[in-house]
Structure 1
Amino acid sequence: MKFEINSIHENKVWTLVDLPGGIKHIGCKWVYKKKVDVDGNIHTYKLRLVAKGYTQRQGVDFDETFLPVPMLKSIQILIAISTYHDYEIWQMDVKIAFRNENLQEVYMTQHEGFESKEASKLVEKVSNRRQPLIQQQKPSTLLLLKQRRKLSESRNNGVIRPSLVACRATPQKWTILEATSELTKPHQIILNGQSFKDEFSMEYEQKLKDIREILKSEELENQIESLMLVDAIQRLDVNYHFQEEIEAVLRRHYMEATTSFDGYTLHDLSLFFRLLREHGFSISADIFNKFKGKDGVFEGKLKQDIRGLMELYEAAQLVTEGEDILDEAAKFSGQIVSGRLKHPYHRSIARFTAKKYIRDFQGINGWRKTLKELAKMNISVAKTGNQQELAKISEWWKNLGLAQELKQARNQPLKWYTWSMASLSDPSMSEQRLELTKSITFIYIIDDIFDLYGTPEELTVFTRAVHMWDYAIVQMLPKPMKMCYKALLDTTNDIGYKIYKKHGYNPIDSLKSAWGSLCDAFLVEAKWFASGHLPTSHEYLENGKVSSGVHVVLVHLFFLLGVNRKTGGAVQVDDISELISSVAAILRLWDDFGSAKDEQQDGNDGSYIECYMKENPGSTIETVRECVIDMISSDWKHLDKECFRLNKNSSSSSFTKASLNIARMVPLMYSYDDNHQLPILEEFINSTLFDDTFLVHRP
């Protein structure tokens, strides 16, 4: 009790004064409490001086509150932020607390047992800058957030596992249930007024430095081990940190390579071929002829070399049109190892397969140990950044208001962001991911407008408006289209301006042209299905490549990444038309391959298979699907050829990698199961955005 009184006096909480006329004072009382331990034994006697706020009366002073009582939502937000940023929550005892703001003057009777004998009729005037927390009992604890300092402090074998608890993915909505802007704010540790770089970041930077030094040095046991290091870096999806070093290693190998490749095993030569071709080095598939017998087929003894066959199968995935030897290699090795390699590296999203590779990664010493630790930390870093971006996209989508205006359209920001997250894995490309997601959003929304909201005549007006790109036309559009049209112009113009600020030119004309072409293709499809007319399979596919929206995505991506500027004008947007066509064909055919429709689409959609079977009445669904699989394989070959051509200019490598990642994402986005769900996509999102234990909930 004396401690409490001394603290009040030291902080000059009140002064004794005469009660002014017309002012009512409030009473106070001592509150006593016993604190017990886990066994029920009393270990502390506590007391507090509290004001009798309950004497207030309705209609007089009942609404005057002297204590900001925390709402339950505030506590929930606090816990959500701490979980998201992987903070620890610390509890501190509070001996005394004050409000640091102005209130009206408060007068209180002198506290029992400590009345002034000389001035017993005076009351206590509470200081305007030292008002205690009255009306209710003072809180005895204060929750503090502290950033987790060490990777090893986490519970799951040293892996930090932050969760964005304010989000949930459902296969019906792929939407974000709740997100707070607080989650997007950066944080730092502050102690005694000083900011410190946390230990995790310093350890992370050190491991990056260690791997970079190993790549530059010649300490590796042999040439092949340096290739194995590069391969591991790529499979663990940390290669964007070491692009220059990897390029130097591969160039050295390319310059030192001989035509005979004496001493190279099947594994070594396959690895050499795959890595160099991926990075744009000109290397012929004929180097594999050394493993053929006199009969012109791969030697039978190779079937015992499982490790070599697995790498040969991986290398064969980089086949281009006319490379029969790689087709033969894929068939020969696939008979033995295709079951073990269901997801070849070249056709997979590295970030999706990285966790499995970490689990299977052998080696506890040297660069393997360092690289494995770095990969685990990198997953945490990337996940945190992606969660913050997802919160920003959620806020942008909410503020846009289209979900409320177009209630039948898809509301799937989580799914839209996943495209960008998968295509651009480099954490430094946050701005590009956000802007690309906005463009992808409008592809889906405009698609739904053409499917669900307009007659052919109204859609024709909308298409013309997009070509004109004029705000004055908004009033001519049907109501459901007005908000979408204005938002499209606002967003695209803003993207163009941001590209101008970053790269020195505004590609708005190319962006407008891409949107106009997309609406043209949507309009063609709308007229086909409104008339009940099915086009030929060729007509359908050529138009479907455009209506897939791939060209809109890749044109935006081309300029967001500054390819034109980085290559010194050597690569123009027209140079990527063949690449766009290949990715678009892969997406369109995969989309049509399954019979299931997207969960929220109530409009009419045709398919390539439907058009083909109408042209060929005697064909069966099985034979048509086999035909589609062959077409997808052929388009992959053409895509690889275009990527290898563009990769000869290393400044375009980020664009070709992103383009490949979009093609790699297609099976995840369109592999529906019998329940019309997307289990592989759910697994990918859970793996990359949420904790492994966080499952996608089905309602």
Structure 2
Amino acid sequence: MEVVRRFSNYKPSLWTHTYLNSLTSIYGENIYKERAEKLKGNIKIMLKEANGTLNQLELIDNIQRLGVCYHFEDETDEILKGIFVNFNSTKNKRSENISLYAASLQFRLLRQHGYLVLPQDAFKDFIDDGTFKTKPSDDTTKGILNLYEASFLAIQGENILDVAQDFAIKYLNENLELTTADDPTLGEHIRHALELPFHWRMPRVEVRWYIPIYQSTLHMNPVLLEFAKLDFNIVQALYIEEIKDLSRWNTSTKLTEKMSFARDRIVECYFWMLGLTFELQFGYTREIITKLGFFVNVIDDAYDTYATLDEVRLFTQAIERWDVKEIEQLPSYMRVCFLVVFNLINELVFNALKEQDIDIGPPLRKALLDYCKSGEVEAKWYHSGYKPALDEYLECSLITVSTPFLIICAYFITASPITKQAIQSLDQYPSIVRWSNMVVRLADDLATSYDEIKRGDVPKLIQCYMHEKGASEEEARAHVNHLISESWKKINNNLYVESPFSKTYIPIAMNLARVSQCVYQTCDGNGYPTPESKEQVASLLVHPIPI
């Protein structure tokens, strides 16, 4: 009997192997690295000699927005620690001198770096009967823009920051045209922030946007600007070599050839990894997680549409048994896919045993099996015509979005040392993993739900909410956006609580949410890339910034 299969009809990759291997960059040469090192030394002196809290905050903010903060972690940490100590010693005193702009910038930077400043202390001079006010001396629009940005560092229960956000959104929308006429750079900042706040944006994409904006500001620092441009281009030269290697790997595995029904998205997978870890030292993390991300893309397409239910069960069973002999039971198109993930996971296990004498095989295989089992559940829903309840859908789809598996793998690659406490925590999908992945799930569903249903997938969150609550599509989308905001508050809390995870891993997990909101902001940039989304990728991988 002939098997009837469903097809997603994905378009071919926008990036050919030939094109990727033609990419070059001059910025890998020593002359540029030597110049960057000299500028880096000058900036360290600037940080050391910066006087006044506001000057220090503005310098750190620009260093962060320009994407070079990873070069100056010790210097910025020392400055912010001093500012926090001073803040705590004076927080009970009212100040007529601090502006809303300075108070908001201080609050945001301290919170971003793990200092739990309370909003009622930070903004006491600007709150009157539960509402916000501005002082006549304030640069009003700039201050309110920074208040808006600061409000997204809220944790649960901080209603005053919800009030601040509503106040700021209303003011900025009402005064956007006036601001634009008065100061084009500030107006561009406002439009950009209202689209998506800084705290939610993918760092490397934000850097590419901010560098030309910073260049046109009145008080631009030429040394800082040149260093940011050079650093961006030097790191981009490394990215080019990494994506070439990944393209060769993709071609050599013949995974795309064997599973021709699936998405061929090696560049898009790499783009996700740049969002998690853009820094030079994380090259191996980007390599392995990109390969694993490519695997989950193709197996997701098999589970969602192409595979029969029996084939889904067979693959899940093979993952559970974790024996290479299991490929004999799999359909031919799934065999290479199994071997790819089998070899990648075993490579990670080998490296951990060799370098840290710890067996990470069980937690890695559990995370992968959880993903496959949840995918099998969704396949059963589709084949039986079952419509899950809202909570039931969320609990399952939080795993099938695949990023919990990937972000758990990222821990084992980046952590040194790997701790038993962290392994035990990851087994239960701790807060930083759960809520970052919740944002991925929600952003994904906002962008892709109808396309996925058309190609034969189960109902998504929007449809489940409409069905269960009797809501309109507009109401369902508003609810999903509310869930994203609430999830971010829970993510933020991980900056301030004791955790078995390092200061390296927590930002990586947070970045997962940021990448999803970038990829799914205007389209399904993973399944159906557009010319605009391709240009966004090219701005990070292909086009250097003119020096």
- Which aligned pairs between 1:287-436 and structure 2 lie closer than 5 A? 287-299=121-133, 301=135, 305-337=140-172, 340=190, 341-342=193-194, 343-361=196-214, 368-436=221-289
How has the CA–CA distance of structure 1 residues 298 and 563 changed in structure 2, closer, same or farther, with 3 Å as cutoff?
A: farther
TM-score (norm 2): 0.85
Range with bigger deviation, 428-437 or 197-206? 197-206
User: Given that residues 243 and 267 in structure 2 are in contact (C-alpha distance below 8 angstroms), is that contact kept between their aligned partners in structure 1?
Assistant: yes
Label 1:184 to 1:655 Cα distance change in 2 as closer, same or farther (>3 A): farther
Match of 2:75 among 239, 242, 245: 245
Write the distance in 1 (CA, Å) between the matches of 2:452 and 2:265. 11
Judge conservation of contact 2:14–2:534 (CA < 8 Å) in 1: no
Which residue of the partner structure matches residue 629 of structure 1?
A: 481
Deviations 1:430-453 (A, max 9, x none): 111111111111111111121234
Equivalent pairs counted in the alignment come to 510
Does the 8 Å contact 1:393/1:434 carry over to 2?
yes
Conserved 8 A contact 1:389-1:434: yes
1:486 to 326, 339, 363: 339
Q: 2:6 aligns to what? A: none
Aligned residue identity for 1:311: N
Query: Secondary structure of the equivalent of 2:264?
Result: coil
Instruction: Give the alignment partner of residue 641 of structure 1, picking from 493, 513, 528.
Output: 493
Comparing 529-538 with 348-357, greater Cα deviation is found at: 348-357
User: Partner amino acid for 2:162?
Assistant: D
Farther-moved stretch of structure 1 (674-683 vs 448-457): 674-683
Q: Please tell me the residue identity of whatever aligns with 1:630.
A: H
1:514-663 alignment to 2 at 5 Å?
514-562=367-415, 564-565=417-418, 571-572=422-423, 574=425, 577-594=430-447, 602-617=455-470, 619-645=471-497, 652-663=502-513
Maintained 8 Å contact 1:410/1:444: yes
After TM superposition, give the deviation of residue 570 of structure 1 in Å: 6.5
1:180 deviates by 7.4
For 1:284 and 1:232, how far apart are their aligned partners in 2? 24
1:453-472 residue pairs with structure 2 within 5 A? 453-472=306-325
Deviation at 1:323? 0.4
Give the structure 2 partner of residue 211 of structure 1: 43
Unmatched tracts of structure 2, length 5 or more:
1-9, 177-189
Query: Could you say which residue in structure 2 is the equivalent of 1:88?
Result: none
Q: Is the contact between residue 234 and residue 350 of structure 1 (CA under 8 Å) also seen in structure 2?
A: no
Q: For residues 259-288 of structure 1, what are the alpha-carbon distances to aligned partners after superposition, in whole Å with 9 as ceiling and x for unaligned?
A: 136332211121111111111112212124
Give the drift of 1:307: 1.5
Alignment root-mean-square deviation, CA: 3.1
SS in 2 for 1:425: coil
Match of 1:688 in 2: 540
Q: What does residue 177 of structure 1 align with?
A: 17
Residue deviations 1:490-541, cap 9 Å, x none? 1111122234445443422211111000001100000000111111111011
1:20 is aligned to none
Deviation at 1:294, TM superposition (A): 4.3
Q: What corresponds to 2:111 in structure 1?
A: 277
- Kept in 1, the 8 Å contact 2:449–2:459? The answer is no
Indicate conservation of the 8 Å contact 1:423/1:661, yes or no.
yes
Q: Please give the alpha-carbon distance, in whole angstroms, between the structure 1 residues aligned to 2:440 and 2:60.
A: 30
Shift, 1:223, TM fit: 2.1
- Residue 409 of structure 1: CA displacement? 1.2
- SS in structure 1 of the partner of residue 503 of structure 2: helix
Kindly tell me: are residues 185 and 336 of structure 1, through their superposed partners in 2, closer, same or farther at Cα, counting changes over 3 Å? Answer: closer
CA deviations on 1:639-683 (whole Å, 9 max, x unpaired) are 11124336x78x722222222222111123224559965466334
Q: Is the helix fraction higher in 1 or 2?
A: 2
Q: Is the 8 A contact 1:179 1:395 kept in 2?
A: no
Give the corresponding residue for 2:32.
Answer: 200
> Using the alignment, how far apart are the partners of 1:467 and 1:663 within structure 2?
29
What is the distance in 1 between the residues matched to 2:488 and 2:27? 43
CA 1:408/1:570 → structure 2, altered by over 3 Å: closer, same or farther? closer
Of stretches 384-393 and 338-347 in structure 1, the one that deviates more from structure 2 is 338-347
Letter in 2 for 1:663: A
Q: Answer with 511-520 or 284-293: which moved more.
A: 284-293
How far does the alpha carbon of each residue in 1:559-610 deviate from its partner, in whole angstroms, 9 at most, with x for none?
A: 1111554xx7665561662121112221112222135666999442421111
Q: % of aligned pairs identical?
A: 26
Separation in structure 1 between the aligned mates of residue 32 and residue 42 of structure 2, nearest angstrom = 15
In the TM superposition, residue 256 of structure 1 has moved relative to its aligned partner by 2.1
Question: Is the CA contact 1:174–1:411 (under 8 Å) kept in the aligned structure 2?
Answer: no
Instruction: State the shift of 1:398 in Å.
Output: 0.8
CA contact (8 A) 2:32 2:234 kept: no
Q: Shift of residue 350 of structure 1?
A: 2.6
Query: In structure 2, what is the Cα distance between the partners aligned to 1:524 and 1:578?
Result: 24
User: Computing the radius of gyration over CA atoms, which structure comes out larger, 1 or 2?
Assistant: 1
Tell me how far apart the structure 1 counterparts of residues 511 and 62 of structure 2 sit (CA, whole Å).
18
- SS in structure 1 of the partner of residue 17 of structure 2: coil
CA distance in structure 1 between the aligned counterparts of 2:376 and 2:300, rounded to whole angstroms:
10
Q: Following the alignment from structure 1 to structure 2, what is the Cα–Cα distance between the partners of residues 674 and 181?
A: 26
Q: What is the SS of the residue equivalent to 1:407?
A: coil
For residue 644 of structure 1, give the secondary structure of its aligned residue in structure 2. coil
**Rounded Cα–Cα distance in structure 2 between residues aligned with 1:510 and 1:411:** 28
CA contact (8 A) 1:274 1:314 kept: yes
Which sections of structure 1, spanning at least 5 residues, go unmatched?
1-169, 189-196, 694-699
In 2, the alpha carbon distance for the partners of 1:273 and 1:571 equals 30
Q: Between the two structures, name the one with larger relative contact order (CA 8 Å, sep ≥ 6).
A: 2
